[in-house]
């Protein structure tokens, strides 16, 4: 129950140290082997002698990096050379032939470009430190071995064409394969899977070279559009599309074999049928520079022939208006399916806010006249918006060969096109365009609206049923096969403009542009080679369902992650810190608790070892034990007869704890506690601190003395020395957390603290200290300040473990970690996503409605309305999370064990908050024993069992719902997301599932229950609602779509009033600003102070909501304002919270409320049965606003007007306790 400051605790410990004497004990810590990649200046960076030795091994072909832009910086500055460089900068050909240069302006980051000024330094930044000019596989083997031995980052570069910076890296050794230019025609390649002509190209061959070589031999190769891109590198390894894709497929579809050096130094040949077939599959579409270093590639070629083509453009000038322009763009996109479904057609075009350009339509083996005929339907439709052949400048032609066509169309354009610093990619799928053409067009408008971004798209059809059959199965993203277009979204910027503009554009891309386009292209995917590095869900977006298999292959051929690239397969195991180190992405364990266990695990000792490390009573100065956050290895082994104390080391910043060198070194602790040891455990980042049994009695005595002294110091500290000691509030509340516990657990049966907080505000004012650590504010105008979207705050740690789901997004304490976890979930609860699944919610409600009519109409039988709504909400959230409805409405009287289990959890929320060790004990007991000893927790355990089954299905790919409907779910996507592997452990996924399902149905079901009562208890409200529903839905069997329901004014008002009076959650929502102060009126709130508000105080504020206890939907009609007459009244409706931790499920809750109320009250006549306000009014806080003890029933009359006419049946609904596990808590 002590939540006080560590400084008071330290003082108490110092007192104990003096009492206990000066005997000391030590333990040894080894830095061990680190997986962090060093950079120049680190202790473990290779020495000059070691680099020289590597240089000798590769026959003098090791090149130290000096950026070509050094001529624009002192001391190398040359005016003439710099001006020449400026005029060419950004054009690919300038940099593709240089060893360490790369074409990713974002990653260049102005470390050494021609535009910073002569006096600015030329830093390597993200440039590789050294490059090996590779001429053979032996050079590659030497580089790989050196990188492994010295733990140096290794990258592979041919031309450096990569928007995500995979071909470079700070402190890296680069394998520069650009000079491996061999090409060979194989007239008849013979194998089990292909017999015919092929071309073998070295790793350094570029597209323009290969086009010319194949043409000279009478063939056309399947290649990309940009002439300077490498053929065998990221292009083919990433999938690769081009102007011939609609005829012959992707680049990866045509690969026959790979010669590759594996990370263990072997040169192997990977084909679809030999023992390296898995490596072949991964290399053919699974991403470049990831599984091995390619030496050469052999691919199919095809007999050359004529190519027909066309190009045109139009804009606002030729259409006469912006509206007509966008209509023309829409017409073009409506014709894309018909065009690309004709054999071989590929369309290369761009769209800006005022100009559309079809750079070329590629029509292999067609004449000019055939091209005209193909385009006639499109041209005819474009004439309806005022365009014609002349205003469009339509040009058609025929080239005799593919190479002559290519060299006269896109090659000269792309050869001189600069690379945009902010760019990304998104597919438009066939279903996107078929189901939502208007939405896709709106997406183009939204992306280009500000003038900062344009789209460069290629429309194509690479479905396997359309193209020449692929040479073999490959790992190209399955999303390609349904794609109608791939669009690069690029920023409008040029070198010489302020770099701050780039930063702003990247922010705009991440926060506005990409989300807008993703919203209208759901499940479409993206092309990894052209995507933005900040793509959140990159595993699913780039690799789709192939990702798990690719990851296994990565683990087989590169188990230690020698080959790393941004957003490449397996890269989530690594990260780059602020200095540029690449290190394994391990969570930083918290040393906040030490559990000292006997064999019966019967007692705990809190805080003890936190003091040992955090009080800094150590012998050594503090630097860094762990290079780049790597867990330390501790030894020797524990003595026999000892008992273990599990401690977690980490979260210790630079300068907090460390060793003077990399070798084993003792740290001397204090305190007369002999024989401390620490032992690493394989596979765990935790360590066991072991205390010798001979010190047990001394430890117990010391703990008692320390505890007594600690209590005295703590009382003085909290009342007089605490940073929040001057804030108003009861002294007893400031002194001890037992004050809060009394109102949570004892007063009127518990759950009374919100009412006590209200009494505090009435006595002390709008800001009060409600416990030793926390402040509470009652001022509606401050809500958007505390719960701001512009500032990410931490959550109060003591709330983290109350439901035994500390790793769920909802429970996550640190803002940074919360953001990562939330980003993996948020897309599934977006408004667009929920809209797309609204039909499923309606189908559930239809089945519920049918059962009510069938089983209750005319039977005078009361129904449990809470169980009815729980069935709807639980099945809806299960469908989104697992694609698996549990059909809970089928249970007798709608009452299922599953919903009962979840609804029972919240009753124990205060017990687990104040006595968290009970959960620890229960979690460490066998389930059968825990259920027998702690019967109240049986529903909790049963709920966990169900979630374990669901997670096991996901991990084992046994989720039949997903297979049958063929769509993604929250957890199938999480498993394939960019979350690091420790985030995808089954136990963490289980906690996430418990959180999502608990929060996803309980709160909404309770709100619908409360809302049903108030509608039925107010005849005028019921009459007006029914009248509106009957007017717009004369046929009760047809319920309007969600979007139309949301436009009904009175239904909308009712829904808002339901959310207001039901509160959602009534528990306060503490937020913590770790680094800055907050200000409220005259008060300055110190950093690290929990500050909270809550929905109860917001929704019952009489200044904002006059007569707050009255259910009055009319208060929401029209355009109501808040107390200041300016802010809309909805600004004060905070059911779902606000800010970065706003409830994820708000859109789903809105959908269920609109659909549920509309269906129930349009189809059924209802009446209350033995239910009064006492049964619904807020009396007890169990996270939600629970009613008076003993409240049981809500009853309604039912009827679905089939041909029988209106009848009535009674419903009965107990208002029991529900868990509120909303993320806003």
Alpha helix locations (H) across 1033-1084? 1042-1045, 1049-1062
CB atoms within 10 A of CB 893: 14
Nearest-10 crossing angle of helices 865-882, 1146-1163 = 140
Supply 943's token pair.
Answer: 């709920």
Please state whether the peptide bond connecting residue 849 to the residue before it is cis, i.e. omega within 30 degrees of 0: no
**E-assigned strands of 318-394?**
346-351, 355-364
Supply 407's token pair.
Answer: 């060299």
Supply 1163's token pair.
Answer: 């189809």
CB atoms within 10 A of CB 660: 9
Rounded to whole angstroms, the maximal C-alpha distance in the chain is 100
Q: Which DSSP letter does residue 562 get?
A: -
CB atoms within 10 A of CB 892: 7
Cα–Cα distance measured from residue 1066 to residue 950, given in angstroms and rounded to the nearest whole number: 30
Nearest in space to 858 (alpha carbons), one of 1200, 1139, 1176: 1200
Q: Which DSSP letter does residue 29 get?
A: E
Q: Is 16 exposed, middle or buried (0-12, 13-18, 19+ CB in 10 A)?
A: buried
Cα–Cα distance measured from residue 541 to residue 523, given in angstroms and rounded to the nearest whole number: 8
Q: Which DSSP letter does residue 230 get?
A: B
Which residues are within 8 A (CB) of 209 and not within 5 positions of it... i.e. 6 or more apart?
181, 183
Cα–Cα distance measured from residue 771 to residue 1091, given in angstroms and rounded to the nearest whole number: 11
Q: Between β-strands 775-777 and 173-176, what pairing exists: parallel, antiparallel or unpaired?
A: unpaired
Q: What angle do CA 170, 172, 175 make, to 5 degrees?
A: 140
Cα–Cα distance measured from residue 57 to residue 138, given in angstroms and rounded to the nearest whole number: 9
Q: Say if residues 646 and 594 touch (Cβ distance below 8 Å).
A: yes
Which helix (H) or strand (E) is 88 found in, with range? helix 79-88
Q: Is 1031 exposed, middle or buried (0-12, 13-18, 19+ CB in 10 A)?
A: exposed
Nearest in space to 155 (alpha carbons), one of 142, 170, 173: 173
Residue 226 assigned ligand-binding role: no
Supply 55's token pair.
Answer: 């240089």
Q: CA separation (Å) from 704 to 2, 600, 605? A: 15, 21, 11
Half-sphere exposure of 42 (CA within 13 A, CB side): 23
Q: Say if residues 650 and 589 touch (Cβ distance below 8 Å).
A: yes
- At residue 734, the 3 state secondary structure works out as helix
Q: Say if residues 1106 and 1114 touch (Cβ distance below 8 Å).
A: no
Cα–Cα distance measured from residue 68 to residue 913, given in angstroms and rounded to the nearest whole number: 61
Which residues are within 8 A (CB) of 1042 and not within 5 positions of it... i.e. 6 or more apart?
835, 838, 841, 842, 1151, 1154, 1155
**114-123 in b/e burial notation, b at 16+ Cβ within 10 A?**
bbbeeeeebe
Q: For 586, phi and psi rounded to 5 degrees? A: -105, 140
Q: Say if residues 557 and 292 touch (Cβ distance below 8 Å).
A: yes
Cα–Cα distance measured from residue 604 to residue 612, given in angstroms and rounded to the nearest whole number: 17
Please state whether the peptide bond connecting residue 636 to the residue before it is cis, i.e. omega within 30 degrees of 0: yes
- Binding site members: 1143
- Binding site members for heme: 1143
């Amino acid at each position: 129950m002590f939540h006080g400051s560590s400084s008071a605790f330290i003082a108490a410990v110092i007192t104990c140290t003096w009492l206990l004497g000066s005997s000391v004990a030590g333990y040894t810590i080894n830095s061990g082997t680190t997986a962090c990649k060093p950079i120049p200046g680190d202790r473990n960076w290779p020495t000059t002698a070691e680099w020289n030795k590597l240089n000798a091994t590769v026959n003098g072909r090791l090149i130290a990096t000096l950026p070509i832009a050094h001529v624009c910086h002192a001391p190398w500055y040359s005016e003439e050379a710099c001006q020449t460089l400026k005029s060419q900068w950004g054009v690919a050909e300038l940099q593709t032939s240089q060893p360490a240069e790369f074409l990713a302006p974002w990653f260049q980051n102005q470390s050494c470009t021609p535009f910073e000024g002569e006096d600015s330094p030329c830093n390597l930044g993200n440039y590789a430190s050294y490059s090996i000019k590779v001429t053979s596989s032996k050079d590659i083997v030497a580089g790989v071995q050196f990188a492994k031995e010295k733990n140096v980052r290794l990258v592979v570069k041919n031309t450096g064409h990569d928007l995500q910076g995979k071909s470079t890296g700070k402190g890296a050794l680069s394998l520069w394969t650009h000079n491996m230019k061999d090409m060979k025609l194989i007239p008849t390649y013979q194998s089990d899977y292909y017999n015919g002509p092929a071309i073998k190209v070295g790793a350094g061959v570029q597209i323009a070279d290969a086009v010319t070589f194949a043409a000279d031999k009478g063939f056309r190769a399947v290649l990309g559009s940009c002439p300077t891109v490498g053929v065998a590198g990221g292009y083919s390894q990433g999938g690769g599309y081009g102007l011939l894709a609609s005829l012959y497929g992707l680049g990866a579809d045509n690969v026959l074999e790979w010669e590759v050096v594996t990370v263990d130094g072997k040169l192997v040949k990977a084909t679809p049928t030999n023992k390296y077939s898995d490596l072949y599959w991964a290399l053919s579409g699974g991403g470049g520079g990831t599984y091995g270093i390619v030496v050469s590639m052999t691919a199919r070629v095809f007999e050359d022939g004529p190519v027909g083509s066309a190009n045109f453009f139009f804009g606002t000038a030729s259409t006469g208006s912006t509206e007509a322009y966008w209509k023309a763009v829409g017409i073009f996109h409506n014709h894309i399916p018909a065009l690309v479904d004709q054999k071989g057609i590929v369309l290369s075009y761009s769209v800006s806010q005022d100009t559309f350009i079809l750079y070329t339509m590629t029509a292999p083996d067609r004449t000019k006249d055939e091209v005209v005929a193909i385009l006639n339907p499109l041209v005819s439709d474009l004439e309806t918006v005022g365009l014609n052949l002349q205003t469009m400048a339509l040009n058609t032609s025929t080239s005799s060969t593919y190479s002559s066509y290519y060299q006269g169309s896109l090659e000269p354009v792309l050869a001189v096109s600069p690379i945009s610093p902010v760019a990304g990619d998104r597919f438009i799928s066939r279903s996107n365009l078929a189901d939502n053409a208007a939405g896709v067009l709106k997406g183009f408008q939204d992306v280009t609206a500000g003038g900062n971004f344009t789209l460069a798209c290629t429309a194509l059809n690479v479905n396997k049923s359309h193209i020449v059959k692929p040479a073999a199965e490959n790992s190209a993203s399955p999303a390609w096969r349904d794609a109608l277009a791939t669009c690069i979204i690029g920023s409008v910027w040029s070198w010489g403009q302020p770099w701050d503009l780039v930063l702003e554009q990247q922010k705009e891309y991440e926060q506005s542009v990409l989300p807008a386009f993703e919203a209208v292209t759901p499940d479409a995917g993206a092309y990894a080679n052209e995507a933005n590095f900040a793509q959140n869900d990159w595993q699913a977006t780039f690799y789709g369902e192939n990702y798990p298999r690719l990851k296994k292959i990565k683990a087989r051929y590169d188990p230690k992650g020698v080959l790393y690239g941004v957003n490449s397969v397996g890269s989530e195991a690594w990260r780059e810190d602020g200095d540029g180190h690449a290190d394994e992405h391990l969570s930083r364990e918290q040393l906040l608790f030490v559990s000292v266990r006997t064999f019966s695990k019967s007692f705990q000792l809190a805080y003890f070892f936190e003091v040992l490390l955090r009080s800094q009573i150590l012998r050594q100065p503090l630097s860094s034990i762990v290079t780049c956050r790597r867990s330390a290895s501790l030894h020797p082994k524990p003595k026999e007869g000892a008992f273990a104390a599990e401690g977690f080391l980490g979260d210790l910043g630079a300068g907090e704890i460390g060793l003077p060198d990399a070798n084993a070194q003792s740290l001397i602790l204090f305190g007369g506690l002999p024989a401390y040891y620490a032992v690493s455990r394989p596979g765990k980042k935790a360590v066991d601190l072991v205390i010798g049994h001979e010190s047990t009695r001394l430890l117990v005595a010391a703990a008692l003395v320390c505890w007594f002294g600690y209590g005295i110091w703590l009382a003085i500290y909290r009342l007089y020395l605490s940073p929040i000691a001057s804030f108003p509030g009861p002294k007893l509340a400031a002194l001890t957390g037992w004050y809060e516990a009394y109102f949570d657990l004892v007063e009127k049966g518990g759950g009374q603290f919100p009412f006590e907080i209200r009494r505090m505000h009435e006595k002390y004012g709008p800001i009060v200290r409600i416990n030793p650590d926390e402040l509470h504010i009652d001022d509606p105008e401050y809500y958007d300040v505390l719960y701001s979207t512009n500032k990410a705050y931490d959550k109060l740690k003591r709330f983290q473990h109350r439901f035994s789901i500390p790793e769920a997004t909802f429970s996550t304490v640190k803002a940074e970690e919360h953001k990562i976890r939330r980003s993996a979930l948020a897309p599934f609860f977006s408004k667009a996503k929920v809209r797309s699944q609204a039909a499923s919610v309606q189908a559930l409600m239809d089945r519920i409605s049918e059962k009510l009519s069938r089983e209750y109409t005319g039977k005078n039988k009361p129904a449990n309305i809470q169980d009815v709504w729980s069935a709807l909400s639980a099945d809806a959230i299960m469908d989104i999370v697992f694609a698996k409805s549990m059909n809970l409405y089928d249970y007798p009287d709608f009452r299922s064990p599953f919903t009962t289990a979840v609804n029972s959890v919240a009753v124990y929320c205060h017990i687990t908050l104040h006595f968290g060790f009970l959960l620890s004990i229960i979690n460490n007991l066998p389930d059968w024993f825990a259920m027998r000893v702690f019967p109240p927790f049986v529903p909790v355990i049963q709920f966990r069992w169900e979630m374990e089954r669901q997670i096991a299905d996901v991990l084992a790919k046994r989720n039949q719902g997903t297979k049958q409907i063929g769509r993604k779910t929250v957890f199938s996507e999480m498993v394939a997301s960019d979350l690091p592997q420790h985030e995808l452990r089954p136990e963490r996924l289980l906690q996430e599932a418990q959180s999502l399902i608990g929060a996803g149905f309980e709160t909404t079901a309770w709100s619908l229950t409360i809302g049903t009562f108030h509608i039925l208890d107010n005849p005028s409200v019921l009459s007006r609602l029914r009248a509106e529903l009957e007017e717009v839905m004369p046929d009760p069997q047809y319920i309007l779509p969600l979007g139309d329901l949301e436009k009904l004014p009175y239904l909308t008002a009712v829904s808002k009033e339901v959310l207001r009076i039901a509160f959602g959650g009534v528990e306060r929502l503490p937020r913590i600003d770790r680094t800055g102060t907050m200000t409220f009126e005259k008060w300055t709130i110190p950093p690290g102070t929990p500050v909270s508000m809550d929905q109860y105080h917001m929704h019952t504020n009489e200044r904002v909501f006059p007569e707050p206890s009255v259910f009055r939907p009319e208060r929401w009609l029209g355009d109501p304002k808040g107390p200041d007459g300016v802010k809309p009244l909805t600004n004060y409706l905070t059911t779902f919270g606000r800010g970065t931790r706003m409830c994820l499920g708000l859109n789903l809750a809105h959908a269920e409320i609109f659909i549920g109320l509309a269906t129930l009250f349009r189809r059924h006549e209802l009446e209350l049965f033995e239910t009064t306000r006492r049964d619904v009014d807020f009396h007890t806080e169990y996270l939600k606003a629970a009613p008076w003890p003993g409240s049981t029933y809500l009853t309604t009359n039912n009827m679905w007007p089939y041909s029988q006419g209106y009848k009535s049946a009674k419903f009965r609904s107990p208002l029991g306790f529900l868990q509120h596990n909303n993320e806003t808590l």
